[in-house]
Amino acid sequence: MTAQSNAPTVIIKKVKKVQGGGHHGGAWKVAYADFVTAMMAFFLLMWLLNATTEKQRKGIADYFSPTIPVNRISGGGDGSFGGDSVFTEETLARNGMGGMPEVPGASGEAGERAESAESREAETEQLQALEEMLTGASGESMVSDDVLRHIVTRVTDEGLMIELFDIEGDPLFQEGSDLPRPVMRELVLMMAEVFGLVTNRIAIAGHVQAQPVVVARNPTWELSAARADATRRLLEEAGLDGERVQRVTGFADREPVTANPMATRNNRIVLVLLRSDL
């Protein structure tokens, strides 16, 4: 007989190890880094699109296009942008033509536009100085306080606009006519003196209040035009050159300045020192 062994049975268990698997691996870090890089590039692109002009973007596109040679027109300078960034105001923003051929006289036109803008700004300052002289904003007014309350001024795109308007109990013209009262004559004398300081052309417009009742023949058109023309005659009598008057217009009651079209304030004469480029 074979002797029975009391030794225990030996069991061998093999464990298969997976290297770099699951969340303990590093592959996800590479993917995340690519994602962050792509997002950064996206936001950088959005920022550049918002921060550059159309001409600058065209210049950049031309630079990276292999079919279009980079030159001073498209890139803004010799070489890669000529050592300037796309945000340099004195280069790409002004001389970048987006790869288009240079137009003869384009630089001259730009210079003329810049000169025109400077001239317009200087003229605006001159008109504002006249406005201050009339209203007393500079400390000294050319009109008395009694007539100053009849004046409203403002500088607009058309020029220096001066409104001479009626005050309750103190109208500029006799009621229902174009005969000027003394206050209107004094105002016009002051206007002629102010207008003599410049050479701008002048526009005159008459406005009147609406009639309280409906009438068969509306007199507001004739009255507004007659008062505007009477103002023209007063200016010429005060020494103003009649050739400077560009237009004389009657607007009847069509453009009231108050919510109530029958208000006395709507009776007014509007004088405009026109800008020289109009």
Interval 161-188: pLDDT, tens? 999 999 999 999 999 999 999 999 999 9
Tokens of 193: 């003196």
- Of the candidates 202, 245, 246, 248, the one whose C-alpha atom is nearest the C-alpha of residue 226 is 248
The pLDDT tens digits for 202-220 are 999 999 999 887 777 788 9
Look up the pTM and report it.
0.57
Whole-angstrom Cα distance, residue 22 to residue 19? 9
Domain with CATH 3.30.1330.60 in the chain: 121-274
Q: What mean pLDDT, rounded, does the chain reach?
A: 79
Q: Are 84 and 78 in contact (CB under 8 A)?
A: no
Most confident of 21-35, 71-85, 182-196, 225-239: 225-239
Whole-angstrom Cα distance, residue 252 to residue 261? 11
What architecture (CATH level 2) is domain 121-274?
A: 2-Layer Sandwich (3.30)
**What band does 225 get if pLDDT is binned at 50, 70 and 90?**
very high
The pLDDT tens digits for 29-39 are 888 899 999 99
Tokens of 203: 């526009």
